[in-house]
């Protein structure tokens, strides 16, 4: 660092210390000048690339998987605290509830009506009786609630039945700091956690090395790459000098298909197919939907269409066993999909 001090007027360097003569008495004294402090260079802060960036809407119903590949559930909602963001995760829980069996109740209530030889008992008579007994308006709609109240009034036992349904139950809440990555593909979004929370809940200890598994053990498992993108499902295990996992790559494909429900106004698809076969002079069994569409277009017949979204196989890749990070409920890969290159198959001995 330079120790020179420059004159503020001419800019030339001044010696240190500088001698100064007093203009009043002529005395000479030394003036110790100090160079201006030099700014200390701050080390450049390295740019930190975010582990993931995802729109909030994409997280709704996203699959949540722990670090060992076990499914924790799906994202119910994103919740904002003062200085942290959480995702609440739910699982579908089977519920069995005992409730009134209104179909059987109607039958039992019909039995309480007086018999008429010339007219069988019917539900309209029951409704009139309910309105009268409960003092309802003559045109009031009789619902299950009114039937229930009428049965209690008449002392008729309420038949019951077991009702089964699935409810969403929040089982976890994770902060964004607990998330390793989030990926989005055509098959939906996936959140991968840093910790084996579900595995430990199931008393499954984490393993460092993925043990070999047969096709029967892994077939159909969702396969997810290192950045959380759902690629598809496992097809089979291939044996060779090393094991490979063949994965079917899948995507959601939108197609225009015949709207069979709307087509019912034209007599239904079968009726149109019969007409097309007769017009084309071919056997009915040979007629395909594409042939019906082409025939209808030539005849000027409008065929209602709709967009149908379905999961279809779009390719396949073979993954070396050492590139598998974890196998739990799903298969977690240690690389991104792009790192595998174009979908291809390893050369197999003939």
pLDDT at 350 exceeding the cut of 60: no
Tokens of 143: 């619902």
pTM of the model: 0.63
| Lowest-confidence segment of 67-81, 179-193, 264-278, 295-309 by average pLDDT | 264-278
Determine how β-strand 222-224 pairs with β-strand 188-193.
Answer: unpaired
Identify which has the larger pLDDT, 27 or 93. 93
Please tell me the distance from the alpha carbon of residue 326 to that of residue 344, in angstroms, as a whole number. 22
Q: Of 181, 177, 173, nearest to 53 (Cα)?
A: 181
pLDDT band at 349 (very low <50, low <70, confident <90, very high): very low
Q: What is the CATH T-level fold of the domain 55-91+171-206, as seen in this structure? A: SH3 type barrels. (2.30.30)
Tokens of 67: 């670090």
Domain coordinates in residue numbering, the chain: 1-39, 55-91+171-206, 102-158, 260-303
| Lowest-confidence segment of 97-101, 162-166, 181-185, 211-215 by average pLDDT | 162-166
Q: What is the pLDDT of residue 31?
A: 61
What digits encode the pLDDT tens for the residues 89-147? 999 988 888 889 898 998 888 888 887 777 777 888 888 888 988 888 888 888 999 99
What digits encode the pLDDT tens for the residues 269-286? 788 888 888 888 888 888
What digits encode the pLDDT tens for the residues 209-238? 999 999 999 999 999 999 999 999 999 999
Q: What is the mean pLDDT of residues 19-44?
A: 65
pLDDT band at 348 (very low <50, low <70, confident <90, very high): very low
Number of DSSP helices (H) and strands (E) in the chain, helices first: 9, 16
What digits encode the pLDDT tens for the residues 238-250? 998 889 999 999 9
Strand segments, DSSP code E, in 194-337 are 222-224, 230-238, 244-258, 305-320, 324-327, 331-333
DSSP per residue, 123-180: HHHHHHHHHHHHT--TT----HHHHHHHHHHHT----EEEEEEEEEEEEEEEEGGGEE
pLDDT at 1 exceeding the cut of 60: no
Q: What is the pLDDT of residue 44?
A: 61
Q: What is the pLDDT of residue 46?
A: 57
Identify which has the larger pLDDT, 298 or 12. 298
| Lowest-confidence segment of 58-67, 116-125, 189-198, 310-319 by average pLDDT | 116-125
What digits encode the pLDDT tens for the residues 55-89? 888 899 999 999 999 999 999 999 998 889 999 99
When mean pLDDT is compared over 12-21, 23-32, 71-80, the highest value belongs to: 71-80
């Amino acid at each position: 660092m330079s120790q020179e001090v420059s004159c503020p007027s001419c800019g030339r360097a001044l010696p240190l210390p500088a001698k100064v003569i007093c203009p009043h008495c002529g005395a000479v004294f030394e003036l110790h000048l100090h160079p201006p402090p030099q700014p200390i260079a701050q080390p450049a802060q390295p740019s930190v690339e975010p582990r993931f960036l995802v729109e909030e809407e994409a997280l709704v119903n996203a699959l949540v998987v722990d670090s060992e590949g076990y499914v924790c559930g799906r994202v119910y909602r994103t919740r904002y605290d003062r200085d942290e963001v959480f995702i609440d995760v739910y699982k579908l829980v089977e519920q069995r509830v005992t409730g009134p069996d209104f179909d059987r109740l109607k039958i039992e209530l019909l039995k309480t009506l007086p018999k008429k030889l010339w007219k069988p008992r019917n539900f309209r008579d029951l409704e009139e009786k309910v309105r009268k007994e409960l003092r309802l308006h003559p045109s009031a709609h009789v619902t299950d609630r009114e039937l229930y109240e009428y049965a209690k009034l008449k002392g008729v036992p309420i038949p019951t039945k077991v009702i089964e349904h699935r409810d969403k139950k929040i089982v976890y809440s994770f902060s964004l700091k607990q998330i390793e990555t989030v990926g989005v593909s055509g098959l939906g979004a996936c959140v991968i956690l840093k910790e084996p929370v579900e595995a430990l809940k199931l008393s499954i200890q984490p393993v460092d090395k993925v043990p070999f598994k047969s096709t029967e053990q892994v077939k159909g498992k969702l396969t997810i790459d290192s950045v959380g993108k759902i690629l598809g499902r496992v097809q089979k295990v291939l044996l060779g000098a090393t094991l490979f996992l063949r994965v079917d790559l899948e995507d959601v494909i939108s197609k225009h298909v015949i709207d069979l429900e709307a087509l019912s106004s034209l007599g239904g698809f079968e009726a149109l197919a019969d007409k097309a076969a007769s017009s084309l002079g071919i056997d009915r069994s040979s007629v395909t939907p594409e042939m019906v569409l082409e025939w209808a277009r030539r005849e000027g017949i409008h065929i209602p269409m709709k967009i149908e979204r379905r999961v279809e196989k779009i390719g396949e890749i073979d993954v070396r066993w050492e590139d598998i990070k974890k196998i739990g409920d799903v298969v977690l890969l240690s690389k991104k999909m792009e790192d595998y290159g174009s979908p291809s198959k390893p050369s197999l001995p003939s």
